[in-house]
Structure 1
Amino acid sequence: MTANFLIGLREGLEATLVVVLLMAYLVKTGRRSLLPRLWAGVGIAVAVSVAFGALLTFGPRGLSFEAQEAIGGGLSILAVALVTWMVFWMARTARSLGSDLKSRVDKVADGAAWGLVLVATLAVGREGLETALFLWAAAQASGESTTPLLGALLGLAVAAGLGYLLHRGVLKVNLSRFFSWTGIGLIVIASGVLAYGVHDLQEAGILPGLQSLAFDVSAAVPPSSWYGTLLKGTLNFSPATTWLEAAAWVLYAVPVLSFYLRSTLAAPPAAPRKGGAQPVRAAAA
C-alpha cells in the first residue's frame, strides 16, 4: 500500500500541478471564460485513464495463463520504461513547467475552442495513462488488487488536497526538490516491478530459469506474514527469487539510481533570480 500511495501522490501531484498552473494563468490573463474548456480536457483525460486501467485489469482475463503472464510481463517492463523516463523528465523540467504550459496556452487560447481542451487532455492524460499502467503493474507484482487501489486513491486524494492549497496560496513547496527525492522511491519501486515482469515472462515460458533460484528465504520471511506482506507491498520483494529476477533488479537499480543521484541531486542549483532564489510555486504561475 505504501508504494502505491507514493505512486498516487507523485503522479497525482504532477497532474494536479498542471491543472493548477493552467487555472492560475487563465485567471491572471483575464481568460476566466476558458476555464470550462480546461475542465472539459481534464474530464476527458480522467475518463480515458480510468478506461485504460479497466482494460488492463479485465482485458486479459479470458486468455490462457501463459498469454496473461506474457502480457503482464511485457506491460510491467513497459511501465518501468515509462516511469524511468518520467522521473528524469520531471526532475529536469520541474523549474520550467509553468513557462512551458503558458506558452502552449497562448498558442491555442484565441484559436479553436478545442485547442485548450486538447492541451489539458494531453497534459493530464499523459500522467493519467502512466499512473494507470504503473499502478496496474505494481498491483500485479504485489499480488493484491484492493489494497494497492486504496493506497493509490489515498495518494491521489492527498495530491488533490495539496493542489488546492497551492492554488489558494496557503502552501508553498519546492517542487523541484520534492520530485527529485520522490524519484528515488519510484526507481526502487520500479526495480521490483521489473523483477516481477521478468518473473511473468519466465512463467510464460518466454524467458528461462524459472526453477533456478538465487535465494529462497520463505522460511525466514513467509509471504503471508505481516513483514513479508510489508516488503512485498513496498519493495515488491519476493522471498523466492530467480537468478534472472535478481539480475534484472540489480542491473536496473544500481546504474539507474546511481545516474539519477549523480545527475539530479548532485546538480548545482539554478542561478538565483533578482531578489533572491525562490522555490518553485504553483500559485505563482
Structure 2
Amino acid sequence: MTQSMFIVWRESVEALLVIGILQAWASRQQQASRLLRYVWAGTALGLLLSGVLAGLIVLAGETMSGAANEWFQASLALIASVLIVQMVSWMHRNARTLKHDLTRDADQRLSRQGGLGLLVLALLAVSREGSETVMFLYGAGARLQGPSLGLFAIGAAAGLVLSLLTVYVLHGSRRFISWPRFFAISEAILLLLGAALLVSGIERVGGQLLAMDWPEAVYRGIGEGLWDSSTLLDDGHGLGGFLADFAGYRASPSALTLLVWLGYWLVVVGWLRPRKTENLPCLT
C-alpha cells in the first residue's frame, strides 16, 4: 500500500506541475479559452494512452504462465528500476529550466502547428508520467493477490488525493515545504524504491536460473543466503517489511542479490554526484 501511494503521489505531483505550467501559459495567450481546451484534451488523451498501456501490460501478464510470466514480470521490475534512476537524473538536469523549456516548446508548437501542437505537447508530457506510473506500479505489485492487491489499489487512490493536496500546499505556502525540498526528498525515496524493484526483479531472475543446469557454485551464489538477520530485523513484517518494500532489504540475501544491490547504489551515487551541488529552483 505504501509503495503504490508514494508512486502515484510523486508521479501525479509532477504531472500536475506540468499541466499547471501549460495551463498558466495558455491563459496568458490570445484565444486563451480555445488553447485551454487543447491543453485539457491533450491531458485526457495522455491519461487514455497510459490506461491503454496498463491494459496491455496486464493482458500480457495474464496471457503468459509459468516461466514466461516470471521472466516477463522480472523484466518489468528491472525496467521500472532503470526508469526511476533515469527519471531522477533527468530532473537533476532539467528541473532548473523546466518551466522555461515547457513554455518555449509551447510557443514553438503553437506557432508551427497551432492548437494541435499544444495538444500533442500536453499528451506527450502526461503520457510520459502516466506510463512511468504504470511501469512502477506493475513492477511493485506484480506478486500481490487478494486483500494485498486491494490495499495496493487503495494506496494508489490515496496517493492521487495526496498529490492534489501537496500541489495545493506547495502553491499556497512555502513555509512547510518548497518545490526544491519536495523534489529532493521524493527523489531520494524514489531511488530507494528503485533498489527494491531491482532486488525484486533479480530474485525472480534468480528463481528461474535455479531451474537450469549450473555448477554448484552458481547455485550457492543465487540461492543460498550469506547470513540471516531475521531475528534482529525480519523482512516479512514491521520495520523490516517496510524496508524490504522501499529499499530492497533482505534478512538473508544471496550473493547475487547483495552484489546487485551494492552495484545499484555505486552506479546511482557515481551518476548523480556531479549534480548534487545544483539547487533545484522554485518551479512555480
TM normalised by structure 1 equals: 0.83
Give deviations 1:148-202, integer Å, cap 9, x for gaps.
Answer: 3322332222212333455xx5234632332223211111111111111111112
After superposition, the Cα gap between the structure-2 partners of 1:179 and 1:227, relative to the gap in structure 1 and judged at 3 Å, is: closer
After superposition, the Cα gap between the structure-2 partners of 1:128 and 1:101, relative to the gap in structure 1 and judged at 3 Å, is: same
Q: Distance in 2 between matches of 1:130 and 1:109?
A: 27
1:211 aligns with 2:223: yes
Q: Distance in 2 between matches of 1:258 and 1:3?
A: 26
After superposition, the Cα gap between the structure-2 partners of 1:45 and 1:257, relative to the gap in structure 1 and judged at 3 Å, is: same
- TM-superposed deviation, 1:20: 0.4
- TM-superposed deviation, 1:96: 0.7
SS in 2 for 1:251: helix
After superposition, the Cα gap between the structure-2 partners of 1:214 and 1:53, relative to the gap in structure 1 and judged at 3 Å, is: farther
Q: Distance in 1 between matches of 2:236 and 2:78?
A: 26
Q: Distance in 1 between matches of 2:46 and 2:240?
A: 36
1:135 aligns with 2:147: no
Aligned to 1:199: 203
Task: Determine which of 249, 260, 268 is the counterpart of 1:248.
Answer: 260
Structure 2 residue runs without a partner (length 5+): 213-217
Aligned to 2:274: 263
Which segment drifts farther, 26-35 or 172-181?
Answer: 172-181
The 8 Å contact of residues 6 and 159 in structure 2, kept in 1 or not, is answered as yes
- Name the one with the larger helix percent: 2
1:98 aligns with 2:138: no
After superposition, the Cα gap between the structure-2 partners of 1:104 and 1:17, relative to the gap in structure 1 and judged at 3 Å, is: same
Task: Determine which of 109, 126, 139 is the counterpart of 2:128.
Answer: 126
Q: Distance in 2 between matches of 1:125 and 1:96?
A: 20
Aligned to 1:151: 155
Q: Over the residues paired in the alignment, what is the CA RMSD in angstroms?
A: 2.6
The 8 Å contact of residues 109 and 115 in structure 1, kept in 2 or not, is answered as yes
After superposition, the Cα gap between the structure-2 partners of 1:239 and 1:181, relative to the gap in structure 1 and judged at 3 Å, is: same
1:177 aligns with 2:189: no
Give deviations 1:57-86, integer Å, cap 9, x for gaps.
Answer: 342223221111111111111111111110
1:8 aligns with 2:8: yes
TM normalised by structure 2 equals: 0.83
Aligned to 2:247: 235
1:101 maps to a residue whose letter is: L
Q: Distance in 1 between matches of 2:228 and 2:56?
A: 34
After superposition, the Cα gap between the structure-2 partners of 1:15 and 1:264, relative to the gap in structure 1 and judged at 3 Å, is: same
1:174 maps to a residue whose letter is: S
- TM-superposed deviation, 1:25: 0.8
The 8 Å contact of residues 9 and 162 in structure 2, kept in 1 or not, is answered as yes
Identity of aligned residues (%): 26
The 8 Å contact of residues 7 and 135 in structure 1, kept in 2 or not, is answered as yes
The 8 Å contact of residues 76 and 138 in structure 2, kept in 1 or not, is answered as no
- TM-superposed deviation, 1:140: 3.0
After superposition, the Cα gap between the structure-2 partners of 1:228 and 1:236, relative to the gap in structure 1 and judged at 3 Å, is: same
Pairs aligned (count): 270
2:54 maps to a residue whose letter is: G
- TM-superposed deviation, 1:141: 6.5
Aligned to 2:109: 108
Structure 1 residue runs without a partner (length 5+): 271-278
Q: Distance in 2 between matches of 1:67 and 1:268?
A: 43
Aligned to 2:37: 36
Q: Distance in 2 between matches of 1:221 and 1:58?
A: 37
